[in-house]
Amino acid sequence: MPSQSLLKSRDEVFKKTKDVGEDVAISSLHLFQGDMDLPPLSFHASLEEQWDEEEEPEEIETVLKLVPPAYHQYLDVFSKVKAEKPPPHCACDHHIELEGLPPPVGVIYSLSNQESETLWAYISENVEKGFIRPSFSSTGAPVLFVKKKDGGLDLCVDYHKLNAVTRNKRYPVPPMSQLLTILNGSTIFSKIDLCGAYNLLRIKEGDEHLTAFRTKYGTYEYLVMPFGLTNAPASLKNLVNDIFADFLDFVFVVYLDDIMVFSSSEEEHVKHVASVLQRLRDNNFLSKASKCVFHSSSVEYLGYVVSVNCLKIDSFKVWQILNWPQPKNIKALQFFLGFANFYCCFIKNYSKELLL
C-alpha cells in the first residue's frame, strides 16, 4: 500500500501503487464475475489516465488510502480538480419559472474587513472555476455571511425575495419508516457523498440573470445551480432519480446528495458499489472520498444509524433532544416540534404525548 509519508511527486505515487496493482486486479476480477454488467479492470493502464495533470500528489495519495483497492479503477470519480469544473448542460438544467411578477432587486450591505476578504476570495475562486460570471442583470440578490465553527465565514446569497415570486415545484419525500423495509436482510453498507451536489446542475440558458447577486465588487450571476433557490432540491432529486432509476431501492437509497448502498453479502456489495461508481463516472458526477464510508456493518445516514435490521436515532441527536432548552415562545416551540416530528416514529403514542 502507499507509504504513510507525504509523497513528493505524481510518479512516486503511481510507482508505490504498482506493487498492489496485480493483486487488486486479480481479486477484483474474481469479485466482479456475475450477471452485473461492469467494465473490465485495467489498473496499470488506467490509474495515471484517471488523474488530471493539475492533481496534487498528496491528494492522490489521500484518495488511494480512503478508497478500497477494489474500486481503484474509479479513482477519477474522487478527483478534486474535476470537481472544480462546471458540468455540461443537460435536459435537467435548473429552470427558474416566475409567477408573472418582476424579479426583485436586493440591497448591498455594509461589510467588515473579514467579510470583504471572504467575498473577494469567493468571487475570484468561482469566476476561475467557471461557476459564476460578471452580470449586467437588472435584478440581484444581496449576500450574507454565516459564521463557521472555526471562526471563518460562509457566503450565502439571500434568494428569499426571488423565491417568493418563483413557481414552486413540489417533490415527494418518502417517510424514513420505509427504510427498514427496503433494507430488510442487508448486512453491509457504504455511503457515498456527492461532491458539490447543487453544482452538478447548470442553470438553464437564459435564466442565469435571475441568479444574479449584487456586491460592492460588482454584480455576478451563476452558471451552475447555487444553494438557496427554492426549487434546487427538486431539480437535484429529479436529476438523481433520472440517472439512477434502475438502482433506487434495489442497490441504494438516496436523499439529495447522500447515497447509501446496501447489500446482503460482501461479494454482492462490491458489485453494487462498483456499478454505482461507474454510473457516477458516466454522468460526470463526483464524490468526496473523505466523506464516504465503505463496507461497514453500520452507517450514519440522515440523522439515523442504520445497521443489520435496525434503524435508530443518532446518539448526537439524542443528546440534542435531552439538552434542548425549554421553548420560551411560539417560534421556539415550532422549531422544536419540527425537529421532534422527524423522529416521531420512535415515540409510542407520539401525537397523544404532545397533548399531555
- Say if residue 301 is in the same domain as residue 339: no
Q: Give the residue-averaged pLDDT of 133-150.
A: 91
- Say if residue 331 is in the same domain as residue 298: no
- Say if residue 69 is in the same domain as residue 20: yes
32-46, 92-106, 221-235: lowest mean pLDDT where?
32-46
Write down the mean pLDDT value for the chain.
81
- Say if residue 256 is in the same domain as residue 345: no
> 52 falls in which pLDDT band (50, 70, 90)?
low
Boundary-marking domain end, from 84, 100, 134: 84
Which pLDDT score is estimated for 180?
Answer: 64
Residue 49 sits at the vertex; the CA angle it makes with 189 and 275, to the nearest 5 degrees, is: 25
Q: Give the residue-averaged pLDDT of 171-197.
A: 80
**223 is a domain residue:** no
pLDDT at 44 over 50: no
242-246, 260-264, 313-317: lowest mean pLDDT where?
313-317
- Say if residue 187 is in the same domain as residue 272: yes
**115-124 confidence digits (pLDDT tens):** 999 999 999 9
Which pLDDT score is estimated for 49?
Answer: 57
Tell me which residue has cell 465503505.
294
Q: What percent of the chain has pLDDT over 90?
A: 40
**Domain total of the chain:** 3
**111 is a domain residue:** no
**275 is a domain residue:** yes
Q: Is residue 227 helix, strand or coil?
A: coil
**348 is a domain residue:** yes
- Say if residue 242 is in the same domain as residue 341: no
**73-111 confidence digits (pLDDT tens):** 999 999 888 888 898 898 889 999 998 888 888 888 999
**210 is a domain residue:** no
> 149 falls in which pLDDT band (50, 70, 90)?
confident
**300 is a domain residue:** yes
Side-chain half-sphere of 184: how many Cα atoms within 13 Å?
4
Q: Is residue 224 helix, strand or coil?
A: strand
Rounded CA gap, 18 and 22, in Å? Answer: 8
54-57 long-range Cβ contacts below 8 angstroms, 24+ apart: 54/81, 55/10, 55/79, 55/80, 55/81, 56/80, 57/6, 57/7, 57/8, 57/9, 57/10, 57/12, 57/13
- Alpha-helix residue ranges (DSSP H) falling in the chain: 10-31, 43-50, 57-66, 113-129, 160-164, 178-182, 232-243, 266-282, 315-322, 330-341, 350-355
Q: What percent of the chain has pLDDT over 70?
A: 82
Q: Give the residue-averaged pLDDT of 38-52.
A: 47
Boundary-marking domain end, from 84, 119, 139: 84
Q: Is residue 312 helix, strand or coil?
A: strand
Which pLDDT score is estimated for 48?
Answer: 53
- Say if residue 192 is in the same domain as residue 294: yes
DSSP state of 289: G
Global pTM value:
0.74
Query: Angle, to 10 degrees, between the axis of helix 315-322 and the axis of helix 330-341?
Result: 150
Rounded CA gap, 106 and 154, in Å? Answer: 19
Which pLDDT score is estimated for 268?
Answer: 95
Side-chain half-sphere of 46: how many Cα atoms within 13 Å?
13
- Say if residue 183 is in the same domain as residue 60: no
Rg (the chain; Cα; Å): 23
Boundary-marking domain end, from 52, 84, 116: 84
Give the CATH number for residue 246: 3.30.70.270
- Say if residue 33 is in the same domain as residue 70: yes
> 141 falls in which pLDDT band (50, 70, 90)?
very high
Q: Give the residue-averaged pLDDT of 33-60.
A: 53
C-alpha cell at 209: 440573470
pLDDT at 219 over 70: yes
- Say if residue 236 is in the same domain as residue 339: no
Rounded CA gap, 17 and 64, in Å? Answer: 9
Which pLDDT score is estimated for 345?
Answer: 74
Residues in contact with 181: Cβ distance below 8 Å, sequence separation at least 6, in sequence order: none
Which pLDDT score is estimated for 182?
Answer: 82
Which pLDDT score is estimated for 31?
Answer: 34
Residues in contact with 80: Cβ distance below 8 Å, sequence separation at least 6, in sequence order: 55, 56, 59
Q: Give the residue-averaged pLDDT of 169-197.
A: 80
Q: Give the residue-averaged pLDDT of 173-181.
A: 67
**62 is a domain residue:** yes
C-alpha cell at 114: 473579514
Highest mean pLDDT: which range of 21-25, 43-47, 128-132: 128-132
Rounded CA gap, 294 and 66, in Å? Answer: 9
| Amino acid residing at 328 | K
**130 is a domain residue:** no
- Say if residue 77 is in the same domain as residue 189: no
pLDDT at 147 over 80: yes
- Say if residue 190 is in the same domain as residue 284: yes
pLDDT at 296 over 50: yes
Q: Give the residue-averaged pLDDT of 284-290.
A: 90
Range 138-159 burial, b when 16+ CB lie within 10 A, else e: ebbbbbebeeeeeeebebbbbb
Give the structural domain span for 342: 324-355
Which pLDDT score is estimated for 203?
Answer: 97
Which pLDDT score is estimated for 57?
Answer: 76
Rounded CA gap, 229 and 245, in Å? Answer: 25
C-alpha cell at 126: 468561482
Q: Give the residue-averaged pLDDT of 241-250.
A: 88
